[in-house]
């Protein structure tokens, strides 16, 4: 199956004098093409660490052919234990007919794990956690407590194409975070809509690493939180292949 092409919109910023007609045109890449998505996070069930680098995800079921990685690719793989999948834009669940697939996770020395993921009309985004256990490990899964809650902080992310200053990306993706300088696993921050997200999970005077996984690549940016809103830029070359 062919990949889904990302929506591209050319926005005219304005013409001045006798400049070239293309000089003031900004190309905006909108990643909001796949509407019903699921962020899959795979971890070691007993430690909470991200899945091993050689873990493999396979999508099974009658609707597997309609499942894509969020960038529009059919190549679905885990990156740092995460991947976002979704339904082809022409395939839409209804209230009467939700759409289900099965995600299977395999890794050397781990017991294979399967989980059913259901896409519904009422829930366009969801987070699916899958824990895998080492062969022979019978300990119960670790329980990760929810992060503490603080005051609202608004973040506005703009994706950059490193070799195209005339292009910017408006990412509609899931975003993770952790305190900078730590090796803690990334935690789920939320879903950003066209680059915008407001969250209560960031503490004042702390510095955080923010991460998105898109097109099989992980992209990060860091910021110290000292005010209630920030505009941040993040390189996203996987969104620039058009």
The answer to whether residue 78 is domain-embedded is no
pLDDT at 124: 96
The answer to whether residue 80 is domain-embedded is no
pLDDT tier, 64 (very low <50, low <70, confident <90, very high otherwise):
very high
Q: With 70 as the cut, is the pLDDT of residue 110 above it?
A: yes
Which two three-digit tokens encode residue 53?
A: 């680098």
The answer to whether residue 141 is domain-embedded is no
Q: Give me the percent of the chain exceeding a pLDDT of 70.
A: 90
pLDDT in tens, 165-215: 889 999 999 999 999 999 989 999 999 999 999 999 999 999 999 999 999
pLDDT in tens, 115-152: 999 999 999 999 999 999 999 998 999 988 889 999 99
pLDDT at 13: 39
**Contact indicator for 39, 127 with CB cutoff of 8 Å:** yes
Mean pLDDT of 12-19: 42
pLDDT tier, 9 (very low <50, low <70, confident <90, very high otherwise):
very low
pLDDT tier, 19 (very low <50, low <70, confident <90, very high otherwise):
low
The answer to whether residue 166 is domain-embedded is yes
d(CA 85, CA 103): 10
pLDDT at 3: 63
* Count of the separate structural domains present in the chain: 1
The answer to whether residue 175 is domain-embedded is yes
**Contact indicator for 100, 116 with CB cutoff of 8 Å:** yes
pLDDT tier, 163 (very low <50, low <70, confident <90, very high otherwise):
confident
Considering the chain, what is the average pLDDT of its residues?
90
pLDDT at 137: 92
The answer to whether residue 235 is domain-embedded is yes
Residue 36 φ/ψ region, left for φ over 0, alpha for ψ in the -120 to 50 degree band, beta for the rest: beta
Indicate which CATH number applies to the domain containing 182: 2.60.40.1120
Q: Range of 166's domain?
A: 153-239
Mean pLDDT of 80-99: 96
pLDDT at 28: 87
The answer to whether residue 120 is domain-embedded is no
The answer to whether residue 42 is domain-embedded is no
pLDDT tier, 23 (very low <50, low <70, confident <90, very high otherwise):
low
């Amino acid at each position: 199956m062919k990949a889904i092409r990302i929506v591209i919109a050319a926005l005219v910023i304005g013409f001045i004098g006798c400049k070239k007609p293309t000089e003031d045109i900004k190309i905006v890449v909108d990643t909001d093409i796949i509407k019903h998505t699921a962020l899959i996070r795979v971890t070691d069930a007993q430690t909470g660490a991200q899945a091993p680098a050689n873990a493999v995800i396979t999508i099974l079921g009658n609707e597997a052919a309609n499942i894509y990685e969020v960038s529009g690719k059919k190549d679905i793989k885990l990156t740092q234990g995460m991947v976002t999948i979704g339904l082809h834009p022409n395939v839409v669940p209804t209230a009467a007919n939700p759409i289900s697939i099965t995600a299977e996770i395999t890794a050397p020395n781990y017991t294979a794990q399967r989980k059913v993921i259901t896409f519904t009309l009422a829930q366009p985004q969801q987070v699916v956690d899958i824990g895998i256990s080492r062969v022979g490990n019978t300990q119960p899964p670790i329980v990760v407590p929810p992060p503490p809650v603080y005051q609202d902080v608004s973040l506005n992310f703009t994706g950059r194409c490193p070799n195209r200053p005339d292009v910017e990306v408006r990412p509609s993706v899931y975003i993770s975070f952790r305190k900078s300088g730590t090796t803690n696993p990334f935690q789920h921050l939320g879903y950003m809509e066209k680059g915008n997200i407001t969250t209560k999970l960031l503490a004042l005077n702390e510095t955080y690493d923010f991460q998105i996984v898109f097109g099989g690549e992980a992209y990060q940016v860091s910021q110290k939180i000292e005010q209630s809103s920030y505009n941040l830029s993040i390189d996203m070359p996987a969104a620039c292949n058009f």
